[in-house]
Amino acid sequence: MTRLSVNINKIATLRNSRGGDNPNVLKVALDCERFGAQGITVHPRPDERHIRYQDVFDLKQVVTTEFNIEGNPSERKFIDLVLANKPEQVTLVPDTLNAITSNAGWDTVRHRAELTELIQAFKKAGIRVSVFVDADEAMVEGAVICGTDRVELYTEPYAAQYFKNRQKAVLPFIKAAEKAREMGIGLNAGHDLSLDNLHFFKQSIPWLDEVSIGHALISDALYLGLENTIQMYLRELEL
């Protein structure tokens, strides 16, 4: 079974736009779980423009499914946040400070030393580690050498090419996924996965452990309702 983790950053963005507490991120997280999601993902950034650091502490107290904290570990504040909350999973993402959203995976060869040190620290705390990588076999292998438990494939290039030639679009992801399986680590995927392209991706890589989806899912929920949307995404993950 491939697990669906719902990224609730967009809920926090909407809340922050008015400065109050509507919508309430804790309630939405609990509702996502109640509607069938098997995990909750947050991606706090240093400017706290969506998920705030306090949100992470608050969510840790109520989330009963898998809690996944994404972010760039170059900030000591992020490392301390993860170690203080001990989520089931931390996903290391090399996004820059001013990036609108994540737009590339790690160069796991160039950053081997720092990634190895970080992974060891998180694993020592009992936290499963996933490293965000491009669909590149060398980057997957590099992540394994660093000691990661999983990699998360950055799927925006797949989504961008899906309607042009889905077979060609998914091919590098299959190769990267096969490398991960060959080397004995878990496999996640995320970024721009949607109701349009998710089933084919899962069909092409049936051993996928988890997908993290936020923007498309929350956008769909505006029209379809949150409960219905989560159920639709779960059905797309069935073979």
Query: Given pLDDT bands bounded at 50, 70 and 90, which one contains residue 98?
Result: low
Domain of 149 in residue numbering reads as: 3-233
Query: Given pLDDT bands bounded at 50, 70 and 90, which one contains residue 95?
Result: confident
Neighbouring residues of 186: CB distance < 8 A, sequence distance ≥ 6: 130, 149, 150, 151, 180, 209, 210
**In the predicted structure, residue 96 carries a pLDDT above the cut 70:** no
**19 falls within a domain:** yes
**67 falls within a domain:** yes
Q: Given this model, what pLDDT does residue 102 score? A: 61
Distance CA 179, CA 27 (A): 39
Q: Output the average pLDDT for the chain.
A: 96
Neighbouring residues of 147: CB distance < 8 A, sequence distance ≥ 6: 116, 119, 120, 123, 129
> Which one is predicted more confidently, 17 or 102?
17
With contact defined as beta carbons under 8 Å apart, do 15 and 22 qualify?
A: yes
Q: Is there a cis peptide before residue 46, judged by omega within 30 degrees of 0?
A: no
C-beta atoms surrounding 163 within 10 Å: 10
Residue 17 burial (C-beta neighbours within 10 Å; 0-12, 13-18, 19+): exposed
Exactly one of 43, 50, 66, 152 is catalytic; name it.
43
* Residue % of the chain over a pLDDT of 90: 94
Q: Given this model, what pLDDT does residue 207 score? A: 98
**77 falls within a domain:** yes
Q: Given this model, what pLDDT does residue 188 score? A: 98
Distance CA 12, CA 52 (A): 8
Query: Given pLDDT bands bounded at 50, 70 and 90, which one contains residue 99?
Result: low
**239 falls within a domain:** no
Exactly one of 50, 66, 141, 191 is catalytic; name it.
191
Task: Quick: pLDDT tens for 34-76.
Answer: 999 999 999 999 899 999 999 999 999 999 999 999 999 988 9
The question of whether 199 is a catalytic residue gets the answer no
- CATH number of the domain that 216 lies in? 3.20.20.70
Exactly one of 33, 66, 70, 236 is catalytic; name it.
70
Q: Given this model, what pLDDT does residue 228 score? A: 98
Total number of domains in the chain: 1
**59 falls within a domain:** yes
Task: Quick: pLDDT tens for 100-148.
Answer: 556 689 999 999 999 999 999 999 999 999 999 999 999 999 999 999 9
**92 falls within a domain:** yes
The question of whether 70 is a catalytic residue gets the answer yes
**51 falls within a domain:** yes
Phi/psi region, residue 150 (left: phi>0; alpha: psi -120 to 50; beta: rest), is: beta
**238 falls within a domain:** no
